[in-house]
Amino acid sequence: MYPIHSKIQAKVSSNGTAKSPFYALLGEFEQALSGVLNRETQPAVKRHKEKGKLTARERIKLLIDTNTSFLELSALAAYNQKDNAFPSAGVVTGIGVIHGREAVIVANDATVKGGTYIKETVKKHLRAQEIAMENNLPCVYLVDSGGAFLPEQDSVFPDRDHFGRIFYNQARLSAMGIPQISIVMGSCTAGGAYIPAMSDETIIVRNQGTIFIGGPPLVKAATGEEVTAEELGGGEVHTSISGVADHLAESDAHALEICRNIFESLPKPQRQKLDIAQPEAPAYTEDELYSLIPVDLKRQTDVHEIIARLVDGSRFHEFKESYGTTLVTGFARIMGFPVGIIANNGFFTSESSLKGAHFIELCSHRKVPIVFLQNTTGFIVGKKYEHGGIARDGAKLINAVANASVPIFTVVIGASYGAGNYAMAGRAFNPRLLLMWPNAKIAVMGGEQASNVLVSIKEQQLKANGKELTPDERQRIKQEILSKYEVESSAYYSTSRIWDDGIIDPLDTRKYLALGISASLNRPFGEPNFGVFRM
Nearest to 85 by CA among 60, 112, 105, 59: 112
Output the pLDDT for position 11: 59
Amino acid at 62: L
Contact of 8 with 293, CB cutoff 8 Å: no
What's the average model confidence in pLDDT over 247-258?
98
Output the pLDDT for position 431: 98
Amino acid at 481: I
Cβ-proximal residues to 17 (8 Å cutoff; 6+ apart), any chain: 287
Nearest to 440 by CA among 410, 415, 419, 409: 415
pLDDT bracket for residue 243 (50, 70, 90): very high
Higher per-residue pLDDT: 326 or 467: 326
| Euclidean distance between CA atoms 2 and 345, whole angstroms | 20
What's the average model confidence in pLDDT over 341-368?
97
SS3 453: helix
Give, for 92, the enclosing helix (H) or strand (E): strand 91-98
Output the pLDDT for position 19: 65
pLDDT digits (tens, 9 = 90+) for 27-67: 999 999 999 999 999 999 999 999 999 999 999 999 999 99
Output the pLDDT for position 14: 46
Output the pLDDT for position 447: 82
What's the average model confidence in pLDDT over 432-456?
90
Q: Does the structure show a pLDDT above 90 at 468?
A: no
Output the pLDDT for position 276: 97
Output the pLDDT for position 294: 86
| Euclidean distance between CA atoms 221 and 199, whole angstroms | 30
Contact of 348 with 420, CB cutoff 8 Å: yes
Contact of 108 with 151, CB cutoff 8 Å: no
Kindly report the pTM of this predicted structure: 0.94
The 3-state secondary structure of 208-268, one letter per residue = CCEEECCCHHHHHHHHCCCCCHHHHHCHHHHHHCCCCCCEEECCHHHHHHHHHHHHHCCCC
Q: Does the structure show a pLDDT above 50 at 433?
A: yes
SS3 6: coil
Count the residues in the chain.
535
What's the average model confidence in pLDDT over 269-287?
94
| Euclidean distance between CA atoms 306 and 370, whole angstroms | 16
CA-based radius of gyration for the chain: 25
| Euclidean distance between CA atoms 230 and 107, whole angstroms | 22
Q: Does the structure show a pLDDT above 90 at 112?
A: yes
Average pLDDT over the chain, rounded to whole? 94
Q: Supply the DSSP string of 268-332, one letter for each residue.
A: PPPPPP---------SS-GGGGGGTS-SSTTS---HHHHHHTTSGGGEEEEESTTSSTTEEEEEE
Cβ-proximal residues to 157 (8 Å cutoff; 6+ apart), any chain: 148, 163, 164
pLDDT bracket for residue 12 (50, 70, 90): low
pLDDT digits (tens, 9 = 90+) for 200-220: 999 999 999 999 988 888 888
Residues of the chain above pLDDT 70, percent: 98
Output the pLDDT for position 252: 97
What's the average model confidence in pLDDT over 167-176?
98
pLDDT bracket for residue 471 (50, 70, 90): confident
Contact of 513 with 341, CB cutoff 8 Å: no
Q: Does the structure show a pLDDT above 50 at 362?
A: yes
The mean-pLDDT minimum among 104-118, 351-365, 451-465 falls in: 451-465
Cα–chain center distance at 346: 25
Cβ-proximal residues to 534 (8 Å cutoff; 6+ apart), any chain: 392, 395, 396
Higher per-residue pLDDT: 127 or 533: 127
Contact of 124 with 77, CB cutoff 8 Å: yes
| Euclidean distance between CA atoms 498 and 482, whole angstroms | 23
Q: How many CB atoms lie within 10 A of CB 141?
A: 29
Q: Does the structure show a pLDDT above 50 at 248?
A: yes
Contact of 56 with 39, CB cutoff 8 Å: no
